Every structure is written in C-alpha cells, then in structure tokens.
Amino acid sequence: MAEGNCTQVTEFILTGFTEDLVTQITLFVMFLLTYLITILGNLGMIMLIRASPQLQSPMYYFLGNLAFVDLCSSTIITPKMLVDFVSGKKGIAYAGCVAQVFIFDLFGMTECFLLATMAYDRYVAVCHPLVYSLVMSPRCCFQLVTGSYLMGLANGMGQTISLSSLSFCSSSVIDLFFCDISSLISLSTSDKTLSQIILRTSASLFGVSSSLVVLVSYMAIISTILSISSAEGKRKAFSTCTSHLITVSIFYGTSIFTYLKPSSDGITEDKWSVVLYTVVTPMLNPLIYSLRNKEVKEALRRLI
C-alpha cells in the first residue's frame, strides 16, 4: 500500500472490555482491588526480604527481583486501564503507546528469564545440595539477574524498533485494554513482514529458550525426587519447588498461548487470558510465595 497520502495516527483508542456502565463499574472495582493487592503484596515482599536476615539467600534474592518486575509490569498496564474505566475517552498518545510497549515487553521478558533462573536455583538446591552455596554465589546470582534484565531490555528495544517502522493510517482503534505489539502489528497499514519476524523470533528465541530451562530443570528435579527413598524426604524436596512451579505454570501457560498461537482475526477472544498474565499473575505471585512458604511466614511473624 502506498504511504504517500498517509496521515500518521497521533492517538490510539483502546476499546477495553465493554460499554455497559454497570459492567464497567464492576470491572473497575475488581481491577482496583487487584492492583492494590498487587502493590501491597509485591512491595511487602521486597521490604520483608530486605529486612529479614533469614531471607538473605539466592532464592529470596530472585524472588525480590521478581516482585519488583511484577510491580513495574502491572503499573504500566493497570492504572491506565482504571483511568479508562472512568474516562469518557479511552485514548492513549502514540508516544505513550510506544513507551507502554517498550516497558511492558522489557519487564515481561525479564520475568521469563527470572523464572528460568529460579528454576535453575531449585535444580541446584535439590539435585546438587552439597555445592549449592558454591554454585549460587552472590556474584553468580547478580550475573543471572543482570542477564535477565539485559534479555528483557533487548526484547523491549527490538519490539520498539519494529513498532517504529510501522505506519497507522486507516484505523486507530486497538481492540484491547493496553498497547500490545501484536495488536499494533495487525492494525498497521504498512508492510508488516519485518515486525512479524521480530515478534515471532523474539517470542521463540527468548520465551521458548527460557521455558526450556524451566522444563529441563524440573525434569532433573523430578528425577532426583523420585530417587529419594523416604516419603518425608520426597515431600520436603518437592515442597521447595511447589510455589515456583505454580507461578511458572500460570505465567508461561497464558503468555505462550497468547503470543505463539496461530494467527486469528483478532485478539478479542484472548482478552481474559491477557488479563490473567498482565494483571492477575503479578498479584498472585507474592500471595503464592507467602502462603505456601514457611520461611516467609516465619519472617513475617518475627517482623510483626
């Protein structure tokens, strides 16, 4: 399509979920409560880990960074969505949309690699406990976390570069509640080949590789647990991985379904799966770890 007469869109309209007033009020209250729990849960987890000497270990160092990432990724999405519920015009400027894509993709991919790093940490703890302190040294933990943020930065920059090459002329309506790169590619009136290649390559290279680390780690963990003779030993070994396994299942399951599924006519049917990993998962992570982890509950009791 020729782009000579194209007037570039300066603002996008986010359709959200519904135009029904009662439903909007219900969703506003529900998402507001979810966001408040997300803020309190993740900030509380970060502060608890920093203040408790018994939580100064690699697992909680990774968990603190996971809480920070969840806090940031939720904040870039949910407050804007809440404003749109009470605003007559659900618009977002082009620059704001680009910033939302960059920050969300940065922290989204960072979370993928943090979860993979946490799986590796559990693998070393269960399969090689005698060398755990040597392998998971403070320097190694710092490098793993830094690498996770760098992978997220690479993903965010790649998606932003692909977005900057697109033109938007015929429509400015995004059938979602935030600026998602796949929705913007579908909306573009210019050649989408490069952007689609970058999106699929990023999802496959980064997302699949990090999920493979999780898969291989847990295959080794399960094999080691099955080789333990006592039932109590099996229960203790598996209990150290349960919280992380629940978090991984929710996050990877919904994100892989959304971004690696076959192409469809729109993303409307996937809105609630997107809500699950953009809004609900950041709220659930600190709850899962605090409710199922005896060390976290004990540290909280001592702090109180």
pLDDT of residue 260: 57
The confidence band for 2, taking pLDDT boundaries of 50, 70 and 90, is very low
Q: Summarize the confidence of residues 248-276 as an average pLDDT.
A: 65
Q: What is the pLDDT of residues 288-304, one digit of tens each?
A: 877 667 777 777 777 76
Kindly report the CATH number that applies to the domain delimited by 11-303: 1.20.1070.10
pLDDT at 265 over 60: no
Closest CA to 59 of 149, 119, 143: 119
pLDDT at 20 over 50: yes
Distance of CA 265 to the CA centre of its chain: 25
Q: What is the pLDDT of residues 40-66, one digit of tens each?
A: 999 988 998 888 888 888 988 999 999
Domain ranges of the chain: 11-303
Angle, helix 231-260 to helix 209-226, in steps of 10 degrees: 160
pLDDT at 36 over 80: yes
